[in-house]
A and B are shown apart, each in its own frame.
Chain A
Amino acid sequence: MECYFDNAATTQVFDGAISVMEKVMREDYGNPSSRHQKGYVAEQYVTGAKKTIAKALKCKDSEIILTSGGTESNNLALIGIAEANKRAGKHIISTGIEHASVYNPLIFLEEQGYEVTFLGTDAYGRVRVEELKAAIRPDTILVSIMMINNEVGAVEPIEELAKIVHGTNPKTIFFVDAIQGFMKLPIFPGRIGVDALSVSGHKIHGPKGSGFLYLRDKVKIRPEILGGGQQKGMRSGTENVPAIAGLSAAIEEYSKNFSANTEHLYQLKQAFIEGLLSMEEVVVHALPLEECEGDLSKAVRKTAPHVVSVGFTGIKAEVFLHALEERGIYVSSGSACSSNHPAISGTLESIQVRKDLLDSTLRFSFCEQNTLEQVEYALEQIREMLPIYRKIRKY
């Protein structure tokens, strides 16, 4: 049985998205900036996509900047907002569990003379509200906090954090990396005080190379890509019409069953964790069981619906990953750390994962197309494999 459990890395593109992309490439291949009919037809895909996105976020379509994906959206938001607002201050706040596409632009900004405060988290990967409040200063121009952590599936209390940010310093801009969150849990940025929000298309059954940045009206930003002045000069470059059309189709299709999908994912996750917890020396990270008095269903629903981070004591993550692969189960290693990659995951450290598990942690991530049978199959395989791969316990 094939079980693709690496949906936080990327997803299979929806058929509907593929067919519209093919149509755009074969028939409606015009440049949206061309004045003739072919250009007009192509432009309709772009404006249509912005409308679809705006509907999903309950915002205005003028608040959407289409990009090449999550990394570009994050770079544009962080560097663009910081540079456009630096006269108001040069202090930025973020967390120690952000994705590299947020973390590295922040390090770049530090080198440019900005000061960045990185907040810690609790043992479940959640930012502490008081800690954020205490960190905000009069010269804080930007707060950047992710919606759902990609490694362990922690859900940040975005609405609460937004209130704290704006309540403490009304001038501070609040940016949310929603690349793992969009289409998993509802988020309407304009209504809860999120000023900017980034999304990637290929995490939600759209094509790679697609994505967008939501930017609330009147938030100042400096464009990072200069050229022909497309998208009101905010993001030059001929629009990637096939990818944009594919992204739009994916959002439309996913939106039809949004809440049913989320509930299905939670059921898969709960069944999977239940099975894992019955095995010896297996640890599920960032699961707030104690907080919920041991009620697994409740605890699971405090986390992301699709991500499960698991430590297997005594087994090297990469070996187990390849062993699972031999049985048709595709997952990610929770952190890239071994003798060859000395980088330890910031997230696993932040939630204080046991040292010996840093190198023994795998991430399973589901999509709504996965089934309970697949979960059962994976559990069965893991149960069988643990003793085999625990024979070599040296590192």
Chain B
Amino acid sequence: MEQMYRAFLIKYGEIGLKGKNRGYFEDCLVKQVRHVLAPLGEYHVAKEQGRVFVECPEGYDYEDTVKAISKVFGIVGFSPVVILESTEWDDITKKVGDYVDALYEDKTFTFKCFAKRGNKDYFKTSPEICADLGEALLNRFPGISVDVHNPQESIFVEVRNRTYIYSKTIPGPGGMPVGSNGKAMLLLSGGIDSPVAGYMISKRGVYIDATYFHSPPYTSERAKQKVIDLARIISAYTGPIHLNVVNFTDIQMYIYETCPHEELTILMRRYMMRIAEAIALEKDCLALITGESIGQVASQTMQSLACTNAVCTLPVMRPLIGFDKQEIVAISEKIESYETSILPYEDCCTLYVADHPVTKPRIRDMEKSEELLKEKIDDMVKTAIETREILRIVPE
């Protein structure tokens, strides 16, 4: 059945509403479809008449292709298309009949035909195509009937230099095509939340870069690899991600040795935000993204969020702020990052966490503690930014 499909017709939603920007948004969509299909083979992706058309190479894998296209933001739905090389009327009626025969096991539904002509010299008009095709189908399958107002199935036929037949629509993820709304910097850890946060902001058309804080030997190579793997998983949705791996060990140790231990996590996070913001500005990102949700851990109480937020001037987007853990896990499972997120490698926080970290930190106390660091911290931050490793992550 699936072997008969040669192409996909992609329909998009909100882009259509965006007036003069429409062309730009469509280009973003085409680019993103090409990005997700590139690892699968030589697909031909083109924009035509308010839609995007994907023609598949010989021997392509239907399931893999559907899965890849389902990850492109901006798509509301897409239809697998049968292509008939001929435009002869007898060929068309036969092919559409065969298509219906193969696709619908139970032939007792109501239907309506829709037709379009690319070639206005074609010997039938669109309404004639619909009517004659409907009649041919009714003759071939006595159990089906026409309902022009509420058909259960809509069968589309487009006659151009070839004939295109489709009826089934696979839902897309919605949202806006990536790249249509600028770029933001995701603070990516190895946990469950941050990949989901990146996914959600990306869904609104935002390009993502990421920063990961690595603390060898307190975090292992495997922990870093896990973050790379997570970035790779979400890059199937977000497009290529530049992952900035910042060595945070010295800063972490310095804070640990200098400041009160119960403030450690908040102080660390304040420096993480500062470093992420500096890289973000350098890379023309317009915002930071974190996976924080109110009250989930000590560093995500309202007071803690205020303390970490205070060091940034860029907007900090927290798409999970009102989510429960279960809701986050559900999205994480849907986007297939969950299995990787729960791999058991130490992350840098666990070793340093105090038994009773502060849950209601005050900004002025944090600033006072940071005074203690002033001798070395600026140089350390500068070094951390300068020596960072930058990896370009694309889907496998």
Contact = CB atoms under 8 A, between A and B. Distances in A.
B253 A326 contact: no
Contacts of B216: 322, 326
A322 B217 contact: yes
B350 interface: yes
A341 B261 CA distance: 25
A339 B218 CA distance: 14
Contact of B346 (A318, A325, A326): A318
Interface string A130-144: 000000000000000
Contacts of B253: 391-392
B217 A319 contact: yes
A364 to B, nearest CB: 17
Interface in A83-117: none
A340 B345 CA distance: 8
Interface string B345-383: 110001110110000000000000000000000000000
Q: How large is the interface on B (under 10, 10 to 19, 20 to 34, 35 or more residues)?
A: 10 to 19
Interface string B121-136: 0000000000000000
Contact of A391 (B221, B256, B344, B355): B256
Interface string A362-395: 0000000000000000000000000000011011
A319 B218 contact: yes
A320 interface: yes
B344 A319 contact: no
A341 B355 CA distance: 20
A323 B344 contact: no
Residue picked from A318, A322, A339, A395, most chain B C-beta under 10 Å: A322
A393 to B, nearest CB: 11
Contacts of A322: 216-221
A90 to B, nearest CB: 37
Contacts of B217: 319-323, 325-326
Contacts of A326: 216-217
A318 B350 CA distance: 13
Given A320-B217, A322-B216, A339 B350 contact: yes
Contacts of B261: 394
Interface residues of A, number: 17
Nearest to B217: A322
A392 B256 contact: yes
Interface in B153-193: none
B61 interface: no
Interface in A138-197: none
Contacts of A394: 261, 351-352, 354-355
B346 A340 contact: yes
Interface string B218-234: 11110000000000000
A47 interface: no
A316 interface: yes
Given A325-B217, A326-B216, A391-B256, A340 B351 contact: no
A316 B256 CA distance: 16
Contacts of A318: 220, 346
B351 A319 contact: yes
A338 interface: yes
Given A322-B220, A326-B217, A316 B257 contact: no
Nearest to A339: B350
Interface in A304-343: 316, 318-323, 325-326, 338-341
A344 to B, nearest CB: 16
A41 B76 CA distance: 63
Contacts of B220: 318, 322
A321 B219 CA distance: 11
A394 to B, nearest CB: 8
Interface string B224-263: 0000000000000000000000000000010011000100
Contacts of A341: 344
Given A316-B351, A322-B220, A326-B217, A338 B346 contact: yes
Nearest to A336: B344
B351 A392 contact: yes
A385 B108 CA distance: 78
Interface string A344-372: 00000000000000000000000000000
A321 B218 CA distance: 10
A392 B352 contact: yes
A391 B351 contact: no
Contacts of B219: 322
A340 B344 CA distance: 6
A392 B351 CA distance: 8
A326 B216 CA distance: 9
A321 B354 CA distance: 23
B351 to A, nearest CB: 6
A3 to B, nearest CB: 16
Contacts of B351: 316, 319, 392, 394-395
A323 B344 CA distance: 19
Given A320-B217, A395-B351, 5 more contacts: A321-B217, A322-B217, A325-B217, A326-B216, A340-B344
Interface of A: 316, 318-323, 325-326, 338-341, 391-392, 394-395
Q: Give me the 8 closest cross-chain CB pairs, A-B, nearest first.
A: A322-B217, A340-B344, A323-B217, A322-B220, A319-B217, A319-B218, A326-B217, A322-B216
18 contacts: A318-B346, A319-B218, A319-B351, A320-B217, A321-B217, A322-B216, A322-B217, A322-B219, A323-B217, A341-B344, A391-B253, A391-B256, A391-B257, A392-B256, A392-B352, A394-B261, A394-B352, A394-B354
Interface of B: 216-221, 253, 256-257, 261, 344-346, 350-352, 354-355
